[in-house]
Chains A and B, each alone.
Chain A
Amino acid sequence: MSISAINENLLRAIGVGVAVVRASDLSFIFHNEPFAEWFGTPQDGASLTSVLEGLDETELDRVRNEGVKYSVELQIKPKRRTLVFALNISAANSLDEKIMVIECQNITRIRELESMIDSYSTMVERNTRELEREKERVERLLLNLMPRSVYEEFKTFGVVTPQLYENVSVVMLDFVDFTDFAARTDPTITLSELNDIFTAFDRIVEQFGCERIKTIGDAYLAVAGMPDPTPDHATAVAHCATRFLRYLERRNESHPHKWQARIGLGTGAAVGSVVGIQKYVYDVFGPAVNMASRLQVFANPMKIVAPEEMKYALIDEFQVSDLGPEDIKGLGEVSLVNVSSALRASKSKSWT
Chain B
Amino acid sequence: MSQTIYEKYGGFKTISRIVMTFYEMALDSDQIGGYFEDIDMPRLIDHQTKFISSLVGGPASFSDERIEAVHRHLNISHADFDEMAELFAEALSQHGMSEPDIRTCLAAIEEKRSIIVVRDAA
Interface of A with B (CB < 8 Å)? 79-82, 84, 111-113, 115-116, 118-120, 123-124, 126-127
Contact = CB atoms under 8 A, between A and B. Distances in A.
A119 B45 contact: yes
Interface residues of B, number: 21
A118 B53 contact: no
A124 to B, nearest CB: 6
21 contacts: A79-B27, A80-B34, A80-B37, A81-B41, A111-B41, A112-B20, A112-B41, A112-B45, A115-B45, A116-B45, A116-B49, A118-B46, A119-B46, A120-B12, A120-B49, A123-B49, A123-B50, A123-B58, A123-B59, A123-B60, A126-B59
Interface of B: 12, 16, 19-20, 23, 27, 33-34, 36-37, 40-42, 45-46, 49-50, 53, 58-60
A111 B42 CA distance: 8
- At the interface, is chain B mostly helix, strand, loop or mixed? helix
A80 B49 contact: no
A124 B59 contact: yes
B87 to A, nearest CB: 14
Contact of A80 (B20, B27, B42): B27
Question: 3 smallest A-B Cβ distances: which pairs?
Answer: A119-B46, A115-B42, A82-B41
A120 B53 contact: yes
Contacts of B16: 113, 116, 120
B59 A81 contact: no
Given A112-B45, A119-B45, A80 B12 contact: no
B27 A112 contact: no
Contacts of A113: 16, 20
Contacts of B58: 123
